[in-house]
Chain A
Amino acid sequence: MNALAPETGLLPGFSDPVAQSQKVFRVVLEAMSRPGTIVAAHTVASAPRPLDPVAAALILALVDYETPLWLDPAAAQPAVIDYLRFHCGCPLVERPDQAAFALITDPKSMPPLSSFYLGSDEYPDRSTTVIVQVPHLDGGEGWSLKGPGIRDQAILSAGHLPAAFKAWVQDNHLLFPRGIDLLFAAPTHVAGLPRSTQLEG
C-alpha cells in the first residue's frame, strides 16, 4: 500500500487497522453515549483534502461495503473518492436519503438534517449517521443538552454551522425514535449528538 502511494497519489489509511479502528470506535462510543462530551480523537496520519484526518479516521473505522456513503459537494473530489473507494470499498450515493453515513466537509452549505434518511418507526436504527467536519468544538453558540448519557446538563459549542442548525437538531429530536445521529469531527476532538439528546432554549 505504502509502496503504491507515490505512483498513484493514494494516501495510506490506518497503519495498524485492527488496533486503530478499535481505538476510533471507542472514541465514537464514548462521544455517542455521553452527548456533548469532547473526546480526544484517534486519527490517521494524513487524509486527502478537504477531508481532515479525524473525519477520515471515523470513516475508515465505521464504513465498508455494507454502508452507502454520501459526500457533500465540497468533499466529492477525485482524491477523496479514490481514497474512500480503496480503503473502505463503500458505495457512494447520489442522494443524502440513500446513505447510511454522510460526510459533511463544508457545514455552512450542508442540506437540512431532514434530507437524510430518518429511519422508520419499526426500524429507527436504519437512519443516516451524519459526520460533520467542524473547525472547532468551542466558540460556537453554547447549546445546553439534556437526555440519556448526560448526568445534569452538558454544553456543546460546535462552531461554523448553518444558522438554522439548532432548529434542525430540535426538529430531529422531536421525531424520536426516528432521526439522524450526528458526529462532529474537529481537528483534534470528536463529539456526538444522537437523536435522543434534547436541546434546551
Chain B
Amino acid sequence: MSTGYNFAYLDEQTKRMLRRALLKAVAIPGYQVPFGSREMPLPYGWGTGGIQVTAAVIGADDILKVIDQGADDTTNAVSIRRFFARTAGVATTEKTREATVIQTRHRIPETPLSEGQIMVYQVPIPEPLRWLEPRETETRKMHALADYGAMHVKLYEDIARYGHIATTYDYPVLVNDRYLMRPSPIPKFDNPKMDNSPALQLFGAGREKRIYAVPPYTSVKSLDFEDHPFEIQRWDQACALCGATESFLDEVVTDDAGGRMYVCSDSDYCGERRDEVEQ
C-alpha cells in the first residue's frame, strides 16, 4: 500500500461531500445530484466519476472488482483495480460472486448480483435529455416537471426512420416511475438487470459532476411503446469459448479474410463456465 496518501486517495472532506451527495441520490432514485468533482490522477473519460464514488464508499473490508466492457483484464479495469489496491490496500477479485463493490465501465456482470453488493457505474454523460436540449436550466426544469415527451419523440423518430428503435446502448430508463435516467453506455441487453436488482447501484460522472443512484428493488423501466415493446439484442451464435447462448457476445475479427468469432463480453462468466466444463 502506498504511503503519503489518505486511505482511498481522497481527503476526508471530499469523501464527506461525496457521501452526502450519495445519500441524497439514494433518497431520490434517478435524480442527478451535483457534486464537487475533484481532479483525479487520470483524465476525464477514464472513470473519474466512478473512482470518486468508489473511494467514498470503499472500506478496508471490501473486496473490489473492476470491469471494463465486461472484462477484468483490460487497461482501464487493471489500472483502476491497482489504484485502489495501492491507495486503499483493499482485496481485489475477478469473481463477481466474491466482490462487495463492483466498479464497471459499460457492462453489468452476467452472474446475478446479490443483496449487499454495490455496483458503481462510470458515466460519461449523465443527462438523458442533453442531446435533445443543451441548456442545463431547461433539462433541470424538464426533470422537475417530469416532462419527458422529447425522449419519446426521439424514440418515435427512430421507428419512423428505421422501423424499430435503433438505440442499442445507453438506452433511456424511467426510475421508480419518476425520473428519466441514463443507465450509462451499457448495452440495452443489460437494462433488464437493473430492474428490481437486489444490489445498490451508484453512478458517478466526474467531468459532468453528477452522482445518481438506484436503490435495491427499485423499478427501472426501459422506455418503449405499446406497439414497439422494448427488446434486447439476440445472437444466432453461441460463445465460441464457453458455448453460452444467454450472454452478451462480442464480435472478434480473427483474420483479414472475413473470419470472426463471437465470445462472451463478461470474462469472469465465460471463464467460470469453461472451468465447469473441464471439471
Contact = CB atoms under 8 A, between A and B. Distances in A.
Interface residues of A, number: 39
Given A148-B176, A151-B217, A195-B27, A125 B21 contact: yes
A110 interface: no
Contact of A125 (B13, B17, B24, B198): B24
Contacts of A29: 19, 22-23, 26, 57, 200
Given A17-B12, A148-B215, A22 B59 contact: yes
A26 B217 contact: no
Given A67-B20, A148-B176, A149-B215, A18 B6 contact: yes
B49 interface: no
B179 interface: yes
A23 interface: yes
B89 to A, nearest CB: 12
A64 B16 contact: yes
Contacts of B216: 33-34, 149, 151
A25 interface: yes
A194 B26 contact: yes
Contacts of B218: 148-149
A21 B19 CA distance: 10
A92 B6 CA distance: 29
A25 B23 CA distance: 9
Interface residues on B, range: 35 or more
Contacts of B215: 32-34, 148-149, 196
Contacts of A147: 176
Interface string B240-279: 0000000000000000000000000000000000000000
Nearest to B214: A148
A61 B57 CA distance: 13
A125 B200 contact: no
Contact of B144 (A22, A100, A122, A196): A122
Contact of B12 (A18, A120, A129, A181): A18
A103 B262 CA distance: 57
A19 interface: yes
B7 interface: yes
A66 B29 contact: no
Contacts of A148: 29, 176, 214-215, 217-219
Nearest to A195: B27
Interface in B61-83: none
28 contacts: A22-B15, A22-B58, A22-B59, A25-B19, A26-B59, A28-B19, A28-B23, A29-B57, A29-B200, A32-B27, A33-B200, A33-B213, A34-B215, A34-B216, A62-B16, A121-B145, A122-B141, A122-B143, A124-B31, A125-B21, A125-B24, A148-B217, A148-B219, A149-B218, A176-B28, A177-B179, A194-B26, A196-B27
Interface of B: 6-7, 12-13, 15-17, 19-29, 31, 33-34, 56-60, 140-141, 143-145, 176, 178-179, 198, 200, 213-219
Interface of A: 17-19, 21-23, 25-26, 28-29, 32-34, 61-64, 66-67, 100, 120-125, 127, 129, 147-151, 176-177, 181, 194-196
Given A32-B215, A149-B217, 17 more contacts: A17-B12, A21-B12, A21-B15, A33-B215, A64-B13, A66-B17, A124-B28, A129-B23, A148-B218, A149-B216, A149-B218, A151-B198, A151-B216, A151-B217, A177-B28, A181-B27, A194-B28
